[in-house]
């Protein structure tokens, strides 16, 4: 029997479908063959707590999938841990790692899809089709409060006023207010200070960051794709580059479920993320509908300007017949959905290989 410890309650993200792991940090007892941990291992005192449960042959699997941003900082701290402690570390990442790490690395974008498109785990993306047709309009449903989403609010306020939009457009912008410590008034006010005075006052005056009346989404069901009912999905990623997200690096292009959602739902994607994300998506095989959507913003290195260009493009699309375009390109919409499933399966193959050849590998 292989004894496994889930030290940071991380194991279910990738391995919960295939392994029953019941030992956690709070109930740990003795030493373990395999310990699965999170990027929290870089925090002060964490590795010292963890090695209490190690023997010389213990494998320490550090899973940083679904964790966006500050990859370079993590790698620097992680390398110091590896060099100090003589255990077999294995890093699992859903972002291709471009910096030298002194341990085996398993990194592939497919692991992001496998982690996020997991309806057997609470908080993951799921889609139970209702048969409802996507309606001409724009969705921008973004979870927690971040500086780039304050900028997004500002551009929505200034460019999407009702009196300058087509009458047949329904515009939904949503930032969840019931997410506990992730979104509170103090944080809102502190982040708002990072914006110039004019933009700050515009947001405060219009209060567009508040949930639209009658359109509140229970946080427990936030990732149910039935809420995405418009043809265009403007997604604001968690990290977009170190000119907005301090201490981040723009060397490792990560993404979350927000990037994946429009492809699974069959929407037209406009994604504010790192410069270069669209190129990475094309390399994976995704159709970004370049004949219809102007993605020239992807080459803009200034994150605020890039966001403004994305909002401008979203507004331009609202003057076109997006429903007709989707109907006439059904096969392309299908191919993107199919690709999501294929990538999920590729990720599952990687996970199964990790289980069979690392976690459950027989010891000599």
Residue 22 lies in a domain: yes
Residue 242 lies in a domain: yes
Same domain, 67 and 182: no
Same domain, 217 and 315: yes
Same domain, 209 and 326: yes
Residue 228 lies in a domain: yes
What is the count of structural domains for the chain? Answer: 2
Whole-angstrom Cα distance, residue 29 to residue 353?
27
**Cβ-defined contacts of 216-223 (< 8 Å, 24+):** 216/178, 217/141, 217/174, 217/176, 218/178, 219/176, 219/178, 219/179, 220/122, 222/141, 222/143, 222/176, 223/123, 223/124, 223/125, 223/126, 223/257
Residue 357 lies in a domain: no
Whole-angstrom Cα distance, residue 347 to residue 310?
30
pTM over 0.75: yes
Same domain, 187 and 320: yes
Same domain, 43 and 191: no
So what's the pLDDT on residue 36? 97
Same domain, 101 and 147: no
Residue 164 lies in a domain: yes
**b/e code 124-145 from CB counts within 10 Å (16+ = b):** ebbbeeeeeebebbbbbbbbeb
Same domain, 96 and 189: no
Residue 165: CATH number of its domain: 3.40.50
Same domain, 144 and 286: yes
Residue 309 lies in a domain: yes
Helix (H) or strand (E) holding 362: none
Whole-angstrom Cα distance, residue 189 to residue 19?
44
So what's the pLDDT on residue 205? 62
Residue 359 lies in a domain: no
Domain residue limits at 16: 4-107
Same domain, 92 and 141: no
Summarize pLDDT for 270-322 with one digit per residue, the tens.
Answer: 999 999 999 999 999 999 999 999 999 999 999 999 999 999 999 999 899 99
Same domain, 213 and 303: yes
Residue 45 lies in a domain: yes
Same domain, 209 and 98: no
Same domain, 15 and 64: yes
The answer to whether 200 touches 241, Cβ cutoff 8 Å, is: no
Summarize pLDDT for 211-230 with one digit per residue, the tens.
Answer: 444 555 555 566 778 878 88
Beta strands in 167-238 (DSSP E): 170-175, 230-236
**Lookup: tokens for 220:** 């427990």
**Burial group, residue 291, by CB count within 10 angstroms (0-12, 13-18, 19+):** exposed
Spans of the chain below 50 pLDDT: 167-168, 170-183, 208-213, 363-364
């Amino acid at each position: 029997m292989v004894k496994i410890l889930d030290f940071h309650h991380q194991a279910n993200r990738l391995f919960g479908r295939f392994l029953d792991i019941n030992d956690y940090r709070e109930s740990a007892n003795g030493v373990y063959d395999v310990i699965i941990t999170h990027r929290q291992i870089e925090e002060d005192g964490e590795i010292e707590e963890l090695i209490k449960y190690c023997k010389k042959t213990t494998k320490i699997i550090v899973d940083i999938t679904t964790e966006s941003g500050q990859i370079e900082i993590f790698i620097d701290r992680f390398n110091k841990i590896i060099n100090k402690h003589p255990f077999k570390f294995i890093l699992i990442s859903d972002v291709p790692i471009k910096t030298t790490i002194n341990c085996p690395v398993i990194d592939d974008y497919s692991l992001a899809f496998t982690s996020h498109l997991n309806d057997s785990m609470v908080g993951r993306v799921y889609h139970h089709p209702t048969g409802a047709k996507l309606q001409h309009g724009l969705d921008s449903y973004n979870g927690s409060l971040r500086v780039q989403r304050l900028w997004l609010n500002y551009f929505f306020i200034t460019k999407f006023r009702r009196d300058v939009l087509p009458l047949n457009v329904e515009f939904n912008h949503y930032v969840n207010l019931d997410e506990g410590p992730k979104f509170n008034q103090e944080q809102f006010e502190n982040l708002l200070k990072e914006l110039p005075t004019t933009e700050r006052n515009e947001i405060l005056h219009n209060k567009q960051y508040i949930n639209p009346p009658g359109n509140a989404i229970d946080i427990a069901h936030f990732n149910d794709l039935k809420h995405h009912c418009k043809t265009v999905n403007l997604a604001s990623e968690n990290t977009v580059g170190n000119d907005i997200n301090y201490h981040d690096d723009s060397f490792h292009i990560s993404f979350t479920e927000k990037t994946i959602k429009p492809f699974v739902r069959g929407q037209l994607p406009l994604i504010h993320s790192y410069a270069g994300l669209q190129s990475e998506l094309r390399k994976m095989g995704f159709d970004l509908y370049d004949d219809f959507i102007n993605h020239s913003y992807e080459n803009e290195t200034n994150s605020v300007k890039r966001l403004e260009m994305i909002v401008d493009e979203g507004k331009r699309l609202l003057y076109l017949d997006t429903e007709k375009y989707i109907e006439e390109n059904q096969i392309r919409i299908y191919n993107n959905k199919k690709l999501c499933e294929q990538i999920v399966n590729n990720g599952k193959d990687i996970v199964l290989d990790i289980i069979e050849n690392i976690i459950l590998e027989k010891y000599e």
